[in-house]
Each structure stands twice: as C-alpha cells, then as structure tokens.
Amino acid sequence: MSTEFEPNVVAFLCNWCSYAGADLAGTSRTHYPSNLNVIRVMCSGRVNPLYVVNALQQGADGVLVSGCHPGDCHYMEGNFYARRRFTLLRELLEYVGVEPGRFNMSWVSASEGAKWKDVVGEVTKKAKEAGPFKQFRRAKINW
C-alpha cells in the first residue's frame, strides 16, 4: 500500500453531455484515476454553488462541475448560468484561501470520452498537488 496522498474529488456532471461523455470514456475502456466520484444532475445549471462549499466542507479535496459546451446545453442556457455562478464562486473560494486547483469546471460533450479522461487526470492531479483540504473541512472541530 502506498502512503501517498490520494485526493477525494466530487464531480457534478450534467446528464446529457458530460455524463454521456464519461460513459463514452467507459465504453471505450479508457483508463483514468479512481479518485473522482460522480453525482449526476440533469444540467450543469442545476448545480447549486453551495454544493461545492458543502463538498469541501464534507471532505472533498477537489470539486468538478462539468457540463455541455456553451451553446450545446440540452436546456439551451443552463451552462451559461452555471458559468457565471462558478466563475464568481471560484474567485470567492480562492480569495479566502482555497487553492486554485481545488475547484474546477469543464465542458465535456457526449463525444469527448477522451477529453473526459484528460479532465479527470487533470483535476485529480491538481487536487493531489493541493494536498488534503483542511481549511474549512467539517472534520469534527471541537467535538
């Protein structure tokens, strides 16, 4: 057993593009790190920014939100709203001292299985570099 730090990444994927892209990565038997776990939502526009805060609080070392490329949203505009929200959230997180690699966003289409693999690799790598998330981890403070 290696004692190297293995980050824990929580990812929110839209059903139509990114989740399908991840499925394609699977069907194509692409291999990627197992640190990332997916929560499926219908649209990246469904992801409440507080989920990200919550995930970090509850033990995630990295968070990813992934949706369709701009203009491809199954619901037309969900990812545009998501983009605005998460741009701001990311600024805010970094500003209070969350390392830049912790929160990520990507556009992965249903045909981009290969890109999904890259994204997982990238996000995992970044979270690994950032190390275990401690800043406002809920971890039983004062229990």
Partner 1 sequence: MDMKKVRKEKFADFLATLAEQKLYAPQKVGESLRFAPVTDSGKVELEMSNTTVPPKSVFFPQTETLYRYEVGNTEIQQPAMGGVDIVLGVRPCDARAQVIVDSLFGWDYNDPYYQERRKATVVGLACNKPCVNCFCLSLGGGPASTVGLDLLMTDLGDAYLLQPLTEKGEKLLALAGETVETAAAGDREAAESLHGQAEQMITRKVETAGVAEKLPGLWEHSLWQETANSCLGCGICTFLCPTCHCFDIQDEVEGLEGRRCRMWDSCMFKEYTLHASGHNPRPTRRERTRNRINHKYSYFVQKFGHTACVGCGRCINYCPVNIDLVEILRQVKEAL
Partner 2 sequence: MVNVDKLKEIARETISRDDVKYLIGWRQGTYGFRAAPYFMSTPEEAEELIFSPLCTNNLATYLTLAEKLPVPRGQEPDSRKVALLVKGCDSRAVVQQLVEQGISRERVLVIGCPCRGVIDQKKVEAKFPDVREAVSAVWDGDTVVFNLPGGSVAVPRQEVLAGKCLTCRYPNPVIADVTVWEEVAVWGSDDYVDVRELEAGSPQQRWGFWEEKFASCMRCYSCRNVCPMCYCEDCVLDRLNPQWIMRSVNTAENTAFHLARAFHLAGRCIECGECERVCPVDIPLMKLNRKLTKEVRDKYAYEPGVDPEAKPLQASYRPDDKEDFIL
Partner 3 sequence: MNNKPKIGVYVCHCGVNIARTVDVEAVREFASRLPNVKVVRNYAYMCSDPGQLLIRDDVEKEGLNRIVVASCSPRMHENTFRKTLAAAGLNPYYLEMANIREQCSWVHEDREEATAKAKKLVYAAVAKARLLEPLYEKEVEVEPASLVIGGGIAGIQAALDIANAGFKVYLVEKTPSVGGRMSQLDKTFPTLDCSACILTPKMVDVANHPNIELLAYSQVEDISGYVGNFDVKVRKKARYVDVDKCTGCGICAEECRLKGRIPSEFDMGMGKRSAIYLPFPQAVPAKYTIDPERCLYLTRGKCGKSPKCADACTAGAINFEQQDEIVEFKVGTVIVATGFDTFDPTRKPEYGYADYDNVLTGLELERLVSASGPTGGNIVLGEGENAFVPKDIAFIKCVGSRDKSVGNEYCSRVCCMYTAKLAHLVEEKIPGANVRIYYMDVRAFGKGFEEFYDRVRREGIRYIRGNPSEIFKRGDKLVIKVEDTLAATPLEDEVDMVVLAVGLEPRKDAREIIDILRLSQSADRFYLEAHPKLAPVDTATDGVFLAGCAQGPKDIPDTVAQAKGAASSALVLLSSGKVKIQAQISFINENTCRGCGYCVEICPYGAIELVTISRMGNPVQVGRVNEALCKGCGACAAACFSGSAQQKSFMDRQILPQIAVLGVMR
Q: Which does 111 bind (CB under 5 to 8 A by kind): partner 1, partner 3, partner 2, none?
A: none
Residue count (the chain):
143
136 lies in the site for partner 1, by CB under 8 A: no
Q: Are 62 and 124 in contact (CB under 8 A)?
A: yes
- With CB under 5 to 8 Å by kind, the binding choice for 17 among partner 1, partner 3, partner 2, none is none
Crossing angle (nearest 10°) for helices 18-27 and 113-130: 100
- In the chain, the N- to C-terminal Cα span, in Å, equals 31
Stretch that binds partner 1, among 6-14, 44-52, 85-93, 133-141 (CB under 8 A): 133-141
Binding to partner 2 by residue 57, rule CB under 8 A? yes
Contacts with partner 2, 25-54, as mask; x by CB under 8 A? ------------------------xx--xx
By CB under 8 A, name the one of 17, 24, 110, 123 that touches partner 2.
Answer: 123
What residue spans of 32-133 are helical by DSSP H? 49-57, 78-95, 113-130
Asked if residues 117 and 22 have their Cβ atoms less than 8 Å apart, the reply is no
